[in-house]
Amino acid sequence: MNYAKTAMALGSAIGVRQLIESIEGLELNDVLSVIGLERRPGTASRILPAIGLITLSAAVGAGAALLLAPSSGAKLRAQLSDGIDDAKHRLTDKISRYEHKNQGRHAIS
């Protein structure tokens, strides 16, 4: 039996192409919803957005406090520049420690 010919014949009749496209976009949640189930969201998926929102609001609040604080423009710019430089150095240090730590793991493996 020639499956290619059979599939092409059925394709025009029942829309195999559209069926394949709909199956490609199918996710586990779609299948579970058909039988009346759903995935329980994990703890991280609930906590991470809240932590991100708190961090963002703290950064905005700190920025507003710096801009509204009674200090001269030059002093404020210097403080901001020092703070950014400090954060940049800490981030670079953490990245280098992380890379050094991972290189040690790969050498052992």
Q: How far apart are CA 25 and CA 84, in angstroms?
A: 44
Instruction: Quote the pLDDT of residue 85.
Output: 92
Tens of pLDDT, residue by residue over 45-96, are 888 888 999 999 999 998 888 778 777 778 878 888 898 999 999 999 999 8
Do the beta carbons of residue 56 and residue 50 sit within 8 Å?
Answer: no
Residues 6+ apart with CB under 8 A from 32: 38, 39
Tens of pLDDT, residue by residue over 50-63, are 899 999 999 999 88
Question: What residues does each domain of the chain span?
Answer: 3-34, 41-69, 72-109
Q: What mean pLDDT is reported for the chain? A: 79
Instruction: Quote the pLDDT of residue 60.
Output: 93
Dihedral in degrees, nearest 10, Cα atoms 86, 60, 96, 78: -20
Q: How far apart are CA 96 and CA 101, in angstroms?
A: 8
Do the beta carbons of residue 11 and residue 20 sit within 8 Å?
Answer: no
Q: What are the respective helix, strand and coil percentages of the chain, to the nearest 5?
A: 85, 0, 15
